Amino acid sequence: MAQNDWKPDVPLEERKRRLLAEGALFRIGILEGRGHVRANLNAESLAKGAMNRIVGAVSSTFSGAFSGKGGGNLQSLSPLLIGGISLLSKRYLRKPLLYGTVISAGAAFAYYLTRRQDRARGAESLSEGEEISTPDGE
């Protein structure tokens, strides 16, 4: 706010005109901010962020369950289930989540196949009589 606005020698019409101009600039700034937010918050970026949060929560929950800490009970899984159900209810997130699921399943299947081929090659080399080299100190 300008310092001249409250001086008694500035006419009332001039103060009104300045306040209206400041209000117009403020509204323009708000509209620009809305445009930036809308541009950066599309369905794909929201789905990626949601998937990252779900993966982190699931990994932390199940890491406790598999390590024997007892973190895999229904009480600890219920927030994940509720969050997953609420995500599936939003139509604009279904397609990105479906794509993410398909890509993740494909990557997991490719990893499984490569591990299986590596094991088969290792078994072949053992059956041919080759020795397995061990690192020093073992």
Please say if the pLDDT value at position 61 is more than 70: no
Q: Does residue 96 form part of some domain?
A: yes
Per the structure, the count of domains in the chain is: 2
Give the pLDDT band (50/70/90) at residue 31. Answer: very high
- pTM value is 0.32
- At 5, the amino acid letter reads D
Quote the CA–CA distance of 79 and 93 in Å, as a whole number: 19
List, for residues 83-105, the tens digit of each pLDDT value: 777 777 777 777 887 888 899 99
CB 47 within 8 A of CB 100: yes
Same domain, 53 and 84: yes
Same domain, 76 and 103: yes
Tokens of 91: 């139509």
